[in-house]
Amino acid sequence: MSGRYTRVGRARPSGGGSELAIWYLMRVTGLALFVLALTHFLILHVLYDPAQQDASWIATVRWSSIFWRVFDWSLLMLVLFHAFMGVRTVVIDYTGGRARRFLLAALYLLALGLLVAGTSVVLTLPVVPK
Amino acid sequence: MLLRYRGREGMFAWLFHRIAGVAVWAFVVLHVVDIYLVGGNPKVYNELLQIYASPAGRIMEALLGAALLYHALNGLRIIVMDFWPPLTRWHRQLWNLCWLLFAVVGLPVAYIILKPIWEGIQP
């Protein structure tokens, strides 16, 4: 526990290494997500209605341009890091010993699976021009 | 726990941030799977979309937006105080500012998301 820093967020780890790197990366990815995730939500839940976003809408409208594929893939990378490192902090806070090791291993495996699944669909969904 | 521990604003800001964060994480897991289905099995994706577009789905959607917006605003508040520690003095005022922005942005968005429920529009 560091006295100098607020406990609203996680206290900045003293020393250095990967824990400090993760602490900074949570803030950097958080700032990027403030822009990208809120933009994504604004477009797909406010400007468009999810009810119209069936599979053919995604192929012909949303992902018909490289720009939005790159945008959504960047969002995927940022959110996977931020969300899984965040849940990692929660797991570390409430568990210990074998339960913690098991949950963290399951968490990293799930993150890897989603990274592969998300990347593959961004790359392989056929481009259908409008 | 909530009634006995007198953490006041700071504790609730932290607690809501954690609950909202875990909730958004859970939706992200579901959302990557559903988008994977757009390529893998579009028929199942379209069926899932019917659930998202139902009244209960729209209420969940509005709650997701609320969790995302609170987490985003309070996250900025955390970053601001982490990198300019003197601002920690104003943590309570900053939290109130978060709620002001939450209401100004969130209420119109919730209205737009929920409107099809009472207008009876079915996909």
pLDDT tens profile A90-127: 999 999 999 999 999 999 999 999 999 999 999 999 88
- Domains of chain A in start order, with CATH, are 17-124 (1.20.1300.10)
Can you give the pTM of this predicted structure? 0.91
Structural domain boundaries in chain B: 9-118
Buried b or exposed e, range A52-85, using 16+ CB within 10 angstroms: ebbbebbbeebbeeeebbeebeebbebbbbbbbb
Using CB atoms, which residue from B13, B61, B88 is nearest to A45? B61
> pLDDT digits over B34-87, tens only?
999 999 999 999 999 999 999 999 999 999 999 999 999 999 999 999 999 999
Domain B9-118: state its class: mainly alpha
CB contact under 8 A, B36 and A50: no
A41 and B CB contact within 8 Å: yes
E strands along A5-69, which residues? Answer: none
CB contact under 8 A, B91 and A38: no
Buried b or exposed e, range B40-49, using 16+ CB within 10 angstroms: eebeebbebb
Which residues of chain A does B16 touch, with a Cβ-Cβ cutoff of 8 Å? none
